[in-house]
């Protein structure tokens, strides 16, 4: 299976996928840590893909999304964005709306706590 096929299958088979440096329990960069931290804090079940473990996937995800940076978040097979976009969406409540619209379970109270702490 090619990197593109692997990526396609991964985003199709999982409701929420984070392509990141490291993994959800041990991120390897600040940007990946921020996004994984938000998802973990909000109680979102997500599949993590460590792009550092596979150079083909690391380049392949950039080609797949036509987005040059990592991390990259996918919800229900759709590319959502990287760290800055996810941060903005979290603080504005748009991420809650996206999760609700797609049936992704998350802790709304924790999402509110994130917003309150960053107000």
Task: Write out the two tokens for 29.
Answer: 């960069």
Residues 116, 57: Cα–Cα separation, whole Å:
36
**Is residue 29 annotated as involved in ligand binding?**
yes
Nearest to 71 by CA among 104, 38, 94: 38
CA distances from 95 to 9, 42, 108, 119 (A): 23, 11, 11, 16
Local structure of 44: helix, strand or coil = coil
Sequence ranges of the binding site: 29
Binding residues for [2Fe-2S] cluster: 29
């Amino acid at each position: 299976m090619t990197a593109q096929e692997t990526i396609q299958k991964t985003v199709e088979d999982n409701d929420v996928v984070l392509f990141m440096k490291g993994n959800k329990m041990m991120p390897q960069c600040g940007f990946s840590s921020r996004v994984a931290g938000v998802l973990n804090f909000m109680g979102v079940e997500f599949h993590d893909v460590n792009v550092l473990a596979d150079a083909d996937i690391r380049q392949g995800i950039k080609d797949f999304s036509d987005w040059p940076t990592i991390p990259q978040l996918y919800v229900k097979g759709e590319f959502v964005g990287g760290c800055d976009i996810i941060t903005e969406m979290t603080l504005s409540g748009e991420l809650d709306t996206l999760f609700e619209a797609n049936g992704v379970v998350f802790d709304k109270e924790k999402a509110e706590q994130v917003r309150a702490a960053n107000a």
